[in-house]
């Protein structure tokens, strides 16, 4: 009898604790976070495409600030390749924190296999980084596939790109997609590939990109009734780019995905805590101010198409 009462007591305590936990989730709280000095953030994703290239400098801000991060003015920004060519980025007078390189004629930054060095001088600090431009496969075609309604989705059209990873392991890519001119830029729309698969252990070297990556160019949206809508319809346009990225950039973007694509709710109690992601940019002075952000120089292949009936 005592054992039964003891067991009932433990169960009662457990149920009470869980009920307290869930009921407390309904209370609105306003935590006070410790203040910290702002840290320079360098967003430097350069490509070999024609036209101007932009590097942005901002500063970190408190977690609960509901505003865009402030731009950083007064810096000197340049990129130099391993042949000695220097590309100077001038600050945009209209957009604080944006530094722009403008080509002369058909000039472009970047050539596959070349190595590039970024130098950012701000105040008394000098921040540096290096990146090598990798190779990128050609996009052979874009297709649209019709799938009939089932218990999960209505009649829908899905887009798919077709490309083959180059022979030889350890190529890493980011696939970027625009639907009707709008970049698919939600956390769950980040589409990364290691060779033609998801990771180094996939053994997908030199083959066609696997289906989840080929179909990662589809937006997944819901209507006002929270019902799934067809990703594409006749009349829509699609534009896809494959960017070569370094392994460090591949890891960086995966960390960004983990930090930003969070389900919320009770599962957050067991999720990886929020923290600053890794960086490949360093202060020349090891005792100087820290820095965040990333530098990558990408070769790009691209293809667009309009969905005709």
Look up residue 31 and give its DSSP letter. Answer: P
Given a cut of 60, is residue 18 above it in pLDDT? no
| CB-based contact 256:177 (threshold 8 Å) | no
pLDDT of residue 40: 97
The HSE-up count of residue 82 (CA atoms within 13 Å, CB side) is 11
What percent of the chain has pLDDT above 90? 70
Contacts of 138-143 spanning 24+ positions with Cβ under 8 A: 138/163, 138/301, 139/163, 139/240, 139/242, 139/301, 139/302, 139/303, 140/164, 141/303, 142/238, 142/240, 142/303, 142/304, 142/305
Q: Is the pLDDT confidence value at 21 over 50?
A: no
For 87, how many CA atoms within 13 A lie in the half-sphere containing its CB? 26
Nearest to 239 by CA among 175, 158, 192, 165: 175
pLDDT of 36 reads 73
For residue 10, give every residue at least 6 positions away whose Cβ sits within 8 Å of its Cβ, in sequence order, or none. Answer: none
The pLDDT, as a whole number, for residue 13 is 41
Determine the Cα–Cα distance for residues 99 and 96; give it in Å rounded to an integer.
Answer: 9
CB atoms within 10 A of CB 142: 19
For residue 4, pLDDT beyond 50: no
Region 202-223: mean pLDDT is 95
pLDDT tens profile 239-282: 999 999 999 999 999 999 888 865 555 454 445 555 568 999 99
pLDDT tens-digit series, residues 126-184: 999 999 999 999 999 999 999 999 888 899 999 999 999 999 999 999 999 999 999 99
DSSP letter (8 states) at residue 266 = G
CB 37 within 8 A of CB 101: no
Quick one: tokens of 64? 């609960």
Q: Could you tell me the pTM of the whole model?
A: 0.84
Mean pLDDT, the chain, integer = 87
Sequence-distant (≥ 6) Cβ neighbours of residue 156 within 8 angstroms: 146, 147, 149, 228, 229, 230, 231
At 139, give phi and psi (nearest 5°).
Answer: -85, 115
What does the pLDDT look like over 28-77, one tens digit per residue?
Answer: 655 555 667 899 999 999 999 999 999 999 999 876 677 788 899 999 99
């Amino acid at each position: 009898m005592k054992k039964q009462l003891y067991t009932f007591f433990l169960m009662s305590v457990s149920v009470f604790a869980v009920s307290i936990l869930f009921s407390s989730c309904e209370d609105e709280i306003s935590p006070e976070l410790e203040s910290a000095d702002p840290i320079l953030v360098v967003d430097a994703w350069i490509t070999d495409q024609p036209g101007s290239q932009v590097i942005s400098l901002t500063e970190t801000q408190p977690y609960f600030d509901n505003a865009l991060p402030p731009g950083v003015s007064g810096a000197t920004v340049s990129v130099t390749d391993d042949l000695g060519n220097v590309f100077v980025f001038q600050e945009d007078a209209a957009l604080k924190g944006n530094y722009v390189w403008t080509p002369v004629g058909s000039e472009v930054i970047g050539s596959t296999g070349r190595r590039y060095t970024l130098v950012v001088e701000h105040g008394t600090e000098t921040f540096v980084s290096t990146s090598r431009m990798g190779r990128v496969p050609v996009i052979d075609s874009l297709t649209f596939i019709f799938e009939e309604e089932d218990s999960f989705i209505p009649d829908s059209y899905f887009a798919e790109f077709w490309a083959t990873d180059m022979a030889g392991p350890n190529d890493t890519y980011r696939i970027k997609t625009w639907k009707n001119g709008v970049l698919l830029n939600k956390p769950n729309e980040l589409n990364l590939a290691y060779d033609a698969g998801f990771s180094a252990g996939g053994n997908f070297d030199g083959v066609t990109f696997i289906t989840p990556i080929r179909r990662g160019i589809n937006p997944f949206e819901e209507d006002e009734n929270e019902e799934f809508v067809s990703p594409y319809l006749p009349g829509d346009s699609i534009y896809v780019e494959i960017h070569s990225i370094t392994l460090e950039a591949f890891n960086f973007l995966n960390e960004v995905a983990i930090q930003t694509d969070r389900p919320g709710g009770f599962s957050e109690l067991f999720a990886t805590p929020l923290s600053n992601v890794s960086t490949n940019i360093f202060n020349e002075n090891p005792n100087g101010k820290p820095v965040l952000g990333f530098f990558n120089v990408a070769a790009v292949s691209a293809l667009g198409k309009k969905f005709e009936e």
